Amino acid sequence: MMFMYKICVIAPITKPLMPKSKHIYQEYAPEYIETTHVYVSYGVDTVETFYDDEIAAPYVVDKAVQAEKDGYNGVIVDCFNDPGLEGAREACNIPVVGAGESSILLALSLGDTFTILSTSAENYVRRKPSRRILKLGVEKRFASIRGIGIPVYQIPHTDTLVDILTKEGIKAVREDNADVLILGCTGLGGLAKSIERKVRVPVVDPVEASMGLLYTLIKYNYKHSRKTYRKPANKVRVMPGTKYIK
């Protein structure tokens, strides 16, 4: 098969979380797109906090710059938190999308309000817009974030994920008035349709959302605005373990 475009999927973790991770983006890609899944050399095992985001970000940027030098047409940050997303957009001339931002943007086109079903160590409901929602300017469309009581590292070992997500999704629809649900972790990729059949509202898969958005940007030759994402100034930068940050 002749591939027209090459996409680099950057996981901001040091090793695979589950076997499906390296293949699921290719499963969702159009047949003429080739995906390569890479991991950062330094950082964390899972990204779940601001602390993890900050540690992972420079290594994501470094991998994005390497991807551009290696001839890739675009980059996906394989994490709902999107660590390093904005820095990578500044550093690269190819489009870079994050799974979290892509999912929220897709949800806005599917209904008036959305709820994020988030991996977390505890069960919780937050109806006040988070800093991230405020930053995107979509707080008027935000219904809630619901923690499902399953942290990221337990995803591969939880056989009842669909049932847990479905239960929280139904609560979000009934109690929070959510029109659309978003799976708030790329480790939940592939589960959206099973949940959607039971909750009866659209469920956004972050893997599908990021692949779809990046494909659109590449195919129609959209670039990030340099008024927003200014090219970094040429100066000395020292970051241990990176190859292209300078």
Write the DSSP assignment of 125-162 as a string of letters: EE-SPPHHHHHHT-GGGEEEEEEES--GGGGGG-TTHH
Place of tokens 């930053």: 135
Q: What pLDDT, on a 0 to 100 scale, did the predictor assign at position 70? A: 96
* Burial of 234: CB neighbours in 10 Å, binned 0-12, 13-18, 19+: exposed
**Contact yes or no for 62/93 (Cβ under 8 A):** no
Q: What pLDDT, on a 0 to 100 scale, did the predictor assign at position 162? A: 94
Walk across the sheet containing 142-148 and list its strands.
123-126, 142-148, 114-118, 180-183, 203-204
Share of the chain above pLDDT 90, in %: 77
Note the pTM of the prediction, 2 decimals. Answer: 0.93
Q: Give the pLDDT confidence of 162-220 residue by residue, as tens digits.
A: 999 999 999 999 999 999 999 999 999 999 999 999 999 999 999 999 999 999 999 99
What pairs with residue 24 in β-bridges? none
